Amino acid sequence: MNGPDPTPSDPEPRPTPAPGAPRPSSRWPFRFAAFSLAVTAFGAGIPTPLYVVYQHEFHFDALVLAAIFGSYTLGVLVTMLFVAPLSDVVGRKPVLYLGMVLTGASAIVFILADGVAMLALARAVSGLAVGATTSTATAAMASLEPRRDQHHVARVSVAANFGAVASGILLSGFLSVYAPAPTTLIFLVLVAASGLGVAAVAATPERVPRQPGERRLHRQRLVVPPSIRGPFLVAAGALAACYSIYGFFGALAPTFLRDVLAVDNRAAAAGVVAILFGGAALVQLGLGEVRDRRALLLGLPIMLVALVALVIALPLSSLPLLIAAAALLGTGIGFVYMGSVTLIDRVAPVALRGEILSAFFVVGYLALAIPTVGVGIAADRIGLAGAAVVFGIALGVFAAALLVTTSFTPTPPGGEGRPRGTD
């Protein structure tokens, strides 16, 4: 999915650990790596309930808000494509340290923000942190999982991302209403969490030895071989649907709740948004063996029903129906997201896995920003409620077409995802 920006499979080809290097027998190194991933996701969720505060303080509309959110996506793409691949050469821990430092730095910029430009900068730095951390932490988790169970790695990484985003949204909304300094205290919490993240990285063993060679930024290649173009389009389309919903709820839902539904309590508004992300996290924990095309065929109808409920709830200004739509969307996203990433992981040739996954997630992050900015532009012309209805209808049509396409796309060979016991 303000991130989530879950990346349950390693988006870069990673060097094999040194021959004979034993895997940890304890799960704690795996958990430490997961914690570092969760720290950046937690930070990505924090601004969501505060956007209405910043709008009141700095006097900007939904279009500017969507552009601020877009700066986050730009930050993610920069470090995902240029910085995260460096972990192949310098090791994973230096890149994870950078992610923790950037997360703390984004909190400080938010605290110091005195206008729109500073908010955009803070959001961009938060995106830089997520782009540097997510794929690197997930790769570290894959090498530290004692049983070599890569599906477990995927489930935990996605659940950690969605769950941490939901936690950041909830805590931010609560503290902004019931504690002093609504735009300061929560970011001090994030600074402390970043410090704990540094400690977690320090306690995580380095599984990739430093490699000789040139240590400079280079762009991760984006590749989609013709042989997998059909499954790629299905999976990338499913990811785009998930990220579009995430962008709308993460950026604009609190403003909609305040301006259209008159929900002035930021803690309550945060709870509505967190329902979506929390629901997606719970699905990952209970997903079991439902993945690949089967997960898409289960999740897309749920997403369609949820979008119908959303489109009905918006013009009726029905808060109960909106809450139900958020819960259903979270459930649908949980299945669709896992289905899309495991489908890609299944069909990607090992030699091109990193390039294919990078192309896959670039599609997702563009879908995170572009529809959200589009809703912001439309809101200037037809109002936020009308723009949200158009968004819901357009995404519903897209999801329906995707469901039909998925139904007629044969299940690719190779078993249900990469088998347990392989990297």
The pLDDT mean for the chain works out to: 86
* In the chain, % of residues over pLDDT 90: 55
pLDDT at 420: 38
Judged against a pLDDT cut of 60, whether residue 112 lies above it is answered with yes
Lowest mean pLDDT among 101-105, 194-198, 353-357, 403-407: 353-357
Whole-angstrom Cα distance, residue 118 to residue 314?
32
pLDDT in tens, 62-106: 899 999 989 999 999 999 888 888 877 788 899 999 999 999 999
pLDDT at 121: 97
| Residue 376 near residue 65 (C-beta atoms within 8 A) | yes
Long-range contact list for 322-326, CB < 8 A, 24+ apart? 322/257, 322/261, 322/272, 323/272, 323/275, 326/249, 326/272, 326/273, 326/275, 326/276, 326/279
pLDDT at 37: 94
Instruction: Say which residue, 57 or 287, is predicted with more confidence.
Output: 57
Q: Can you tell me the mean pLDDT for 273-284?
A: 91
pLDDT at 418: 46
pTM of the model: 0.88
Whole-angstrom Cα distance, residue 178 to residue 173?
9
Whole-angstrom Cα distance, residue 82 to residue 219?
5
pLDDT in tens, 22-63: 555 678 899 999 999 999 999 999 999 999 999 999 999 989
Judged against a pLDDT cut of 50, whether residue 18 lies above it is answered with no
Instruction: Name, of 20-24, 114-118, 281-285, the range with top average pLDDT.
Output: 114-118
Band of residue 156 on the pLDDT scale cut at 50, 70, 90: confident
Q: Can you tell me the mean pLDDT for 153-182?
A: 92
| Residue 402 near residue 332 (C-beta atoms within 8 A) | no
- Give the single-character DSSP code of 183: T
The arrangement of secondary structure in 28-207+223-407, i.e. its CATH architecture, is Up-down Bundle (1.20)
Lowest mean pLDDT among 76-80, 111-115, 194-198, 355-359: 355-359
pLDDT at 315: 86
Q: Residue 353: count other Cβ atoms within 10 Å of its Cβ.
A: 20
360, HSE (Cβ side, Cα atoms, 13 Å): 38
Judged against a pLDDT cut of 70, whether residue 210 lies above it is answered with no
pLDDT in tens, 170-205: 999 999 999 999 999 999 999 999 999 999 999 999
pLDDT at 422: 41
pLDDT at 415: 40
